[in-house]
Amino acid sequence: MSRTSLRPLLPAFALLLLACTGPTLAEVAVGQPAPDFRLLDLDGNAVSLSSFADRTVVLEWINPNCPFSLRHADEKTMQTTATRHPEVVWLAVNSTRPDHGDHLDPAAWKTFLAERGITYPVLADPDGASGRAWGARTTPHMFVIDKGKIAYMGAIDDDPRGSRAATERQNYVDAALVAIAAGKPVATPSTRPYGCSVKY
């Protein structure tokens, strides 16, 4: 095939390469300091992670139009876990870019949350800077922070297909929070997250 005949294929190849490589994500690790952020909630109030330096914090990357996030919201997986640990700060982060079809405006977000009894804040990360700094790959992608350091990162549980009852799943976030509250090491500090790709 001549160089001339290859020329029409170059734009398509470039798009394919971009799709395969995707956004550049940081590589965070358990035990390292939690990357700080300052994001706005649905009412426009600024929330800084560093303001909770003396608290245990859970971060949940979320996208209501992702079947995995939607399933957990409908099953109240996150809500139930958060309720069991009222001393913990739970923050959801939405890194979906504004021009993506999955993007919701604040009013739609509030309706989604109210219908499912979700009361913890959802923070907007429209440029994806915080998601990339955290290496957030999926919705959901979970992080537990204790004393300013990452104590757990990965999946919410061990049932990607949602084929088992909640009582038969290993809830990694709940287990991490129980261990932290008891002053014990987190037995499973890292797992592979599952879900939809974050729509950077």
CATH fold of 25-197 reads Glutaredoxin (3.40.30)
Whole-prediction pTM: 0.88
Asked if 91 and 121 touch (Cβ cutoff 8 Å), the reply is: yes
Chain segment 107-164, per-residue pLDDT in tens: 999 999 999 999 999 999 999 999 999 999 999 999 999 999 999 999 999 999 999 9
| Pair of tokens at residue 188 | 């499973």
Chain segment 74-122, per-residue pLDDT in tens: 999 999 999 999 999 999 999 999 999 999 999 999 999 999 999 999 9
Is the preceding peptide bond at 140 cis, omega within 30 degrees of 0? yes
CA–CA separation, 20 and 29 (whole Å): 24
End-to-end CA gap in the chain: 36
Asked if 174 and 81 touch (Cβ cutoff 8 Å), the reply is: yes
